[in-house]
Amino acid sequence: MKIKKEILGDVAVLHLSGAMLGGPPTSEIFPAEIKSIIDEGINKVVVDLGKVKRMNSTGLGILIRGYTSLRNNNGDLKLANLNPLMKGVLVTTKLDTIFESYPSIDEAVDSFG
């Protein structure tokens, strides 16, 4: 998995690509990026999943840890650009009731108000 960070005002957008299957380095890169964003004083994050082709339960756990870290710092994590496979994974695991997801990055960023 690769991550490209973009700052849009007071929102960090993380563009993910590849497979989010856990294990090194995925299990280390994403949490480190979230910590870095929080350390920068940003607590609003949009995760762009448009180029993520596969995700397993460990990958979902990594997203949940990021969400929890941000919530513990009075922030939030929202998802954008979910392909049908990613939508299906969230619905099957009922995580669609936890994560807010949007069809585009702009809509996700705007949802922070």
Number of helices (H), then strands (E), in the chain: 4, 5
Distance CA 46, CA 19 (A): 18
Residues 32-86 have pLDDT tens digits of 999 999 999 999 999 999 999 888 889 999 999 999 999 999 999 999 999 998 8
Asked if residue 105 has pLDDT above 80, the reply is: yes
Domain coordinates of the chain in residue numbers? 2-110
Domain 2-110: CATH architecture, name and number where available: 2-Layer Sandwich (3.30)
**CA gap 40, 67 in Å, rounded:** 17
